[in-house]
Amino acid sequence: YEKMAEEMSGLVKEEENPETAEETNEIANDAEDTYRPETAPISSENRKLTAARKRDLLQKKKVAAKKASKQQKKLLNDVFRVKTLQRQVEKETKRSDELAKRRARQKKLDKLTKPNRISKKKFEAAEEP
Indicate the domain borders of the chain.
50-112
CA distance 88 to 79: 14
Average pLDDT of the chain, as a whole number: 77
Identify whether the C-beta of residue 118 lies closer than 8 Å to the C-beta of residue 126.
yes
pLDDT in tens, 71-101: 999 888 888 888 899 999 999 999 999 999 9
List Cβ neighbours of 126 (8 Å cut-off, separation of 6 or more). Answer: 118
Residue range 105-127: mean pLDDT, rounded: 83
Measured between alpha carbons, how far is 105 from 94 in angstroms, rounded to an integer?
Answer: 16
From start to end of 1-129, where are the E strands? none
Question: How confident is the model over 2-58, as pLDDT tens digits?
Answer: 666 655 555 444 444 445 555 555 555 555 555 555 666 677 788 888 899 999 999
Which positions ≥6 away from 75 have C-beta within 8 Å? Answer: none
